[in-house]
A and B are shown apart, each in its own frame.
Chain A
Amino acid sequence: MSRRTLPYLWTLLFLALAVILSIAIGSVFIPPADLWRILTGSFSGAALPEPLKTFAFIITSIRLPRTVLVLLTGAALSGSGAAYQGLFRNPLADPYLIGVASGAGLGAVLAMSIQWPYSFWGLMAVPLASFVGALLTVFLVYALARVGKAVPKTNLILAGVAFSSFAGALTSFLMLRSTGELRRAISWLLGGASQAGWGPVLTILPYVVIGLGILLLSGHTLNLLQFGDDQAQQLGLPVSRRRALILMAASLATAAAVSFSGIIGFVGLIVPHVMRLWFGADYRRLVPLSIIAGAGALLVADVIARSVLSPQEIPLGIVTALVGAPFFLWVLRRAKNQGFW
């Protein structure tokens, strides 16, 4: 097996296992044999015996959409995390730390507070508002952190964290004022994929596909940017145009993820780092690997979130922080290759 394809095989295998786990595990136990019959049956269209119909409903209407939603969210957060890190040449940049996620969250809550009872257009408006919030945040944080032509790493994070708190406070205020389902909003905020059904999946799908699609094609650009803006431009790259394109794409993906799965930290930070440590920092490979592994990692986190206090769920954001941070520290400790940044 060649050195190039092996990382893809490993991450894809991980993702496949995570998908199976996510479908198989839940508050209702479904025996593996029945699970297999339902899945093959739904593809071949064969009629299912009566006792399996409930199980089939649980799988196709509850677990499968949720699995796909979490998968898309993980892919979007991790892929955009890798892109932000490359774009800002900053190992700490992730949708959460630079404030984009909170900005997107604020946008989403604003949209929800207007159209709280879900109508179709209300549903469509949420990711759009979230995208606008994310973009405004990026430009604001970038402008605040900027000193002359340079954007110092610490400034970027400080501006991001400060704006994040501000947006977070506004979000909480809006939710307190709203008469709607407060509990649901709070669990959304902490990162729980609590919205069920295929609606949210279909709504965010185009945003995620377009956003991640652009990022997948931007590996060469991100590689050039690692040499700094000046050198990249002297090598013939239209730097500001490409930078804006990647920024838009990453924010689009982040906004889509945030709009229905809430604010989930750490995935966008940890997954790209682990991929970089294990498989190198060539962005033509790092972006796709981060997307695949991010989807798998968030699915595993979601399985844990559903099963630890079963039948109660804990918010996904809590799990990613509780499990992700120690795992990341362990990987960092073990890393032999210190020069990966």
Chain B
Amino acid sequence: MLTIEALTVSYGKRLVLTEVSLEVNSGEVVALIGPNGAGKSTLLRAVSGIIPAQGGKVRMNGEDLLARTAMQRARCLAVVPQAVSMPPAFTVWETVLMGRTPYLNFLGQVSTKDEEIARLALDRVDALELAERRVGELSGGEQQRVLLARALAQSTPILLLDEPTSNLDLHYQVSFMETVSSLARQDNLAVLVALHDLNLAARYSDRVALLVDGEIKASGTPRQVLTPELISAVYHLPVQVIPHPFADVPLVLPGRG
């Protein structure tokens, strides 16, 4: 279980996150939504220890993750970044094996157990047949799956994803989120995923947290958070919310009725 307690981050004098608190239970997908510049990426970066927090704690089952070393933290929490500017030099296999880094020595020597875990991770995201290909040659959707496999290879109970679907086409967006939500259930992972697309968030998350100007404005089930009043006000755009034609989730449509 991931617990974020009153996390505060500022760049210089500007407060980017103000006492953000959020819980993600094991086996649960929480979608982090909010307009551009709300601090979604900053929150994920602060939680993963890339940027320092001025206040607050990030806990996994009670222990403070920010007080740990990078290596210890990487055994608790894995991050799937956006697949942009991937180094072309490495194969998919080599890239996924790098997910084992927190368990490796200085030289990065891998054991057969590490290889087994990497193979399993690739299999989980249906990318086993890509193993020998170079990461730079892959399509955006394939690269994103490889990065998910690398995070899975870290064998962590917590998974953070930073707008993983932004550069994907419709097919890949859906299949990627399907994979993420089934992983959360099967492996009992606590998943926090920043998403642009409100309907993807509604469809594939158990709870939604709405971040506006560095503060959590609302959190709860998609139905509780994705209301026309709230979304219209936050995104400065009139929206309609209608029931999804075949899933039991709300559907957000921009524009007046």
Contact = CB atoms under 8 A, between A and B. Distances in A.
A230 B147 CA distance: 14
B56 interface: no
A284 B108 contact: yes
Given A230-B45, A339-B88, A237 B107 contact: no
B218 interface: no
Interface string B77-94: 011010001111110001
B50 interface: yes
Interface in A204-251: 217, 219-221, 223-224, 226-228, 230-231, 233-239
A236 B71 CA distance: 4
A236 B90 contact: no
Nearest to B87: A226
B203 interface: no
B73 to A, nearest CB: 7
Contacts of A220: 101, 104, 106-108
Contact of B87 (A219, A236, A281): A281
Nearest to A337: B88
B136 interface: yes
Contacts of B78: 234
Contacts of B45: 230
Nearest to B109: A220
Given A226-B89, A339-B136, A234 B74 contact: yes
Contacts of B85: 228
B151 to A, nearest CB: 9
A340 interface: yes
Contacts of B90: 223, 226, 281-282
Nearest to B81: A231
B70 A341 contact: no
A26 interface: no
Given A231-B81, A233-B49, A281-B87, A219 B108 contact: yes
B89 A236 contact: no
A239 B48 CA distance: 14
Given A227-B86, A230-B45, A339-B136, A236 B102 contact: yes
Given A230-B50, A234-B78, A339-B134, A239 B70 contact: yes
Given A220-B104, A224-B98, A281-B89, A234 B71 contact: no
Contacts of A227: 86-87, 98
B89 A235 contact: no
B124 interface: no
Nearest to A283: B89
Interface in A177-223: 217, 219-221, 223
Interface in B115-132: none
Contact of B75 (A224, A231, A236, A339): A236
A233 B71 CA distance: 8
B89 A280 contact: yes
Contacts of B75: 236
Given A220-B107, A236-B71, A341-B88, A230 B101 contact: no
17 contacts: A217-B106, A220-B101, A223-B108, A224-B101, A224-B108, A234-B48, A234-B74, A234-B81, A235-B154, A236-B154, A238-B70, A238-B71, A239-B70, A281-B89, A339-B136, A340-B88, A341-B88
Interface of B: 45, 48-50, 69-71, 73-75, 78-79, 81, 85-90, 94, 98-99, 101-102, 104, 106-108, 134, 136-137, 150, 154
Ranked 6 nearest A-B pairs via Cβ: A220-B108, A236-B74, A236-B102, A281-B89, A226-B87, A339-B88
Given A230-B50, A339-B88, 15 more contacts: A219-B107, A220-B106, A226-B87, A227-B98, A230-B45, A234-B79, A235-B99, A235-B102, A235-B154, A236-B74, A237-B70, A238-B70, A238-B71, A340-B88, A341-B89
